[in-house]
Amino acid sequence: MGKSGDADADGAVAALDIHASADYLLSAYVSGKVVLWELARGSQLRVVTDAHAASVSLVRFSHPTDPVAISVDTRGCVNRITFTKSLFATWAHESECLLDGAAGPIPMLAVLPHLRAARFS
């Protein structure tokens, strides 16, 4: 997984997470880059370079079936990154800023499991 020149360009891997389905892996780097991997093939599905300007300190999948992630950088910026498979098996992403870092660094984050609305009769 990865290329030999990646370490020079992106620095060390700062955070990892494996999806509940064991189909995907997220890697986050000190450069601010986040990568979605397909574990079975060891291939990069999508590289995200527009979500963080600082080192990513934490990355977590936040949905039990879909590849949706929460990422946090050392400045306190929190993003939700939604990965989608498009036509011809290419992958896209959408980043949404949840916290802009104005409150300062976030030392810890717990991602709660995705809960469906319960029906009560």
**Residues of the chain under the 70 pLDDT cut:** 1-8, 113-121
In a domain, 40, yes or no: yes
In a domain, 110, yes or no: no
Q: Which structural domain, as residue segments, surrounds residue 10? A: 6-100
How far apart are the C-alpha atoms of 93 and 6, rounded to whole Å?
Answer: 21
pLDDT in tens, 68-80: 999 999 999 999 9
In a domain, 71, yes or no: yes
In a domain, 52, yes or no: yes
In a domain, 113, yes or no: no
**Considering its fold, how many domains does the chain have in total?**
1
The predicted pLDDT at position 116 comes to: 52
The predicted pLDDT at position 113 comes to: 64
Quote the distance between the C-alpha of residue 71 and its chain's center: 5
In a domain, 60, yes or no: yes
How far apart are the C-alpha atoms of 7 and 86, rounded to whole Å?
Answer: 29
The predicted pLDDT at position 63 comes to: 87
In a domain, 58, yes or no: yes
Size of the chain, expressed as the number of residues it contains: 121
